[in-house]
């Protein structure tokens, strides 16, 4: 089991990034067919391929101040998000609200 966590300073841009990332996946086609099959899905159910999920997470985590992966099966941040490791920065303000998105997989 693995848990991926990414957090943003502000809810509005975070929601926009997540919606944009999922829409990009909806519009993507491969030789085998669409990345997201027709139907109604929860986001975590819709995208089954690891590289497709990494693409969505990479887009959705744009602007995130925290990106972490905790895994009991040896997954790394690069395995989950793909590409080079994403660097994180810490917020300097203790009064800043944080929006956190968690993606869990079995």
**C-alpha 44 chain-centroid distance:** 10
Question: With 50 as the cut, is the pLDDT of residue 106 above it?
Answer: no
- DSSP of 43-55: HHHH--SHHHHHH
Confidence class for position 88, pLDDT limits 50, 70, 90:
very low
Select from 17, 40, 19, 36 the least CA-distant residue to 28: 36
List pLDDT tens digits, range 59-68: 888 888 888 8
Contacts of 93 (CB under 8 A, 6+ apart): none
Q: What is the pTM of this model?
A: 0.61
List pLDDT tens digits, range 9-34: 888 888 888 888 888 888 888 887 88
3-state secondary structure of 25: helix
| Residue listed under structure tokens 């994180």 | 88
Note the pLDDT of residue 93.
41
């Amino acid at each position: 089991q693995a848990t991926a966590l990414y957090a943003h300073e502000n809810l509005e841009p975070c929601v926009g990034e997540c919606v944009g990332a999922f829409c990009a996946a909806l519009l993507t086609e491969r030789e085998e067919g669409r990345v997201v099959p027709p139907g109604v899905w929860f986001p975590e159910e819709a995208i089954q391929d690891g590289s497709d999920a990494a693409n969505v997470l990479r887009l959705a985590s744009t602007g995130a101040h925290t990106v972490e992966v905790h895994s009991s099966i040896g997954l790394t941040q690069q395995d989950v998000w793909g590409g080079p490791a994403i660097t994180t920065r810490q917020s300097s303000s203790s009064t800043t609200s944080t929006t956190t998105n968690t993606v869990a997989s079995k």
